[in-house]
Chain A
């Protein structure tokens, strides 16, 4: 294909619009309604309108299909559309598909969004009594909630690496401190180590504050080409690169039947991410790790190569790590299947975070890590 490097650069995927509706325990409207409002606001942030949209990607778990959303909004034709499965693993991969569509010329203005009434709408696991596929070997034993699957990994990591409760406690407290500076965060009270340690067990060894929130939320992101972004009012945030990975013997949330107990798909995403971005962990100025559970932070730093295997506790204690989960993440801002992490990753490049890291050139975001997943890097400068 005869495409000059210049033409490739002109089509670099660029985030031009973001928006999050105020988070709530009960948002008071349907996911469809909230999602549509978030998309319209993100388009407004981008200086674009519905007439510009020609691509849409979503999570499979999003209750409103991209066709229904396009119909409601009045999108005339979707030239590119699709969905990514696997719950919280879908965040970065959904944006990656949007970026792919833009880079390849399938579409020029692509919308991604996540609207979920996870607080007021109930718990999806509470009504699934007929267990097919992998579930038939898990659900009859009450391995039904995401935390039940995570507990087996967490105990293994504690045993293998000698992690103390104070390690995950410090993660919960660090993220809470970021949330306290974020006016949108659901949890803004200080959290002490005593409170962390004395909180009730949810699924041993995970305590209450190891677990994310239950939130109603609606967020959206708009991407276009670098060329088109130059004519728009918002600060362009360039998609430097992205990667996806499943690893072998994937079973979502219970990824512990494979050869190496304790490895997560991060292990397979990381080398692809560094290859596709041309970066290394040293280049990352700020990171949003998927944090449905505190344990995903130390394992994330290890598996993405910020520190060596087994060194997360010392590394985090050293303070030499980049700031992480700066809006409060899933643990203290809102649990949105990780879309708030994507939005915060963009804000950090724009310089508009409520807890802004200094001189951000490269901002990394990961998605759920014991499910098929991905990661993405947003950058200040274009290719």
Chain B
């Protein structure tokens, strides 16, 4: 990246030891969520201790990513510069079948960001969604496509 003329950048995750396994999983195409080994509680966002029973080091557990739409918004102008050619697009709040809720883009079957407000796709509260991964300038982000 040239200092004189830097390309517009997306905000990037800055992991630490407690969150790195999540991002490593994304890079491998796996969605990892912590689940307490003692009480079975699913935990989001990442943490070093189970917040229900205080057992340390809840193990990272691969999930399918299947879930339902709990809410969403549509990103429109004005945006940060890197997103200006991508709008409008939808950010979903997805409730996984395990119970935790995560954010992610509404993408197509291949994981590409949809340029939409969700109306044409029939996006609705409670819509079933399927996990995909979206490559945003090298950052692999969990995202979802509507189940057919």
Contact = CB atoms under 8 A, between A and B. Distances in A.
Interface of A: 126, 128-132, 134-144, 148, 151-153, 155-156, 159, 200-205, 249, 251, 254, 256-257, 261
A156 B74 contact: no
B76 A257 contact: no
Contacts of B19: 136
A299 to B, nearest CB: 14
15 contacts: A129-B12, A130-B11, A130-B14, A131-B12, A131-B13, A131-B14, A134-B45, A136-B19, A141-B104, A151-B71, A156-B71, A204-B76, A256-B101, A257-B44, A261-B95
Contacts of A139: 11
B11 to A, nearest CB: 4
Contact of B71 (A132, A134, A137, A261): A261
Interface string B36-53: 000000001100000100
Interface in B12-49: 12-16, 19, 44-45
A202 B14 contact: no
A203 B12 contact: no
A136 B91 contact: no
Given A129-B11, A132-B16, A134-B45, A140 B74 contact: no
A294 to B, nearest CB: 16
Contacts of A155: 71-73, 125
B9 A129 contact: yes
Contacts of B51: 249
Given A128-B11, A131-B13, A204-B117, A142 B83 contact: yes
Interface in B72-95: 72-76, 79-80, 83, 89, 91, 93, 95
B32 to A, nearest CB: 13
Contacts of B103: 137-138, 141, 143, 254
A257 B45 CA distance: 8
Contacts of A126: 80
A140 B14 contact: no
Contact of B73 (A131, A132, A137, A204): A204
B102 A137 contact: yes
Contacts of A249: 51
B73 A152 contact: yes
B105 interface: yes
Contact of A156 (B15, B44, B45, B70): B70
B141 interface: yes
Nearest to A126: B80
Contact of B101 (A129, A144, A204, A257): A257
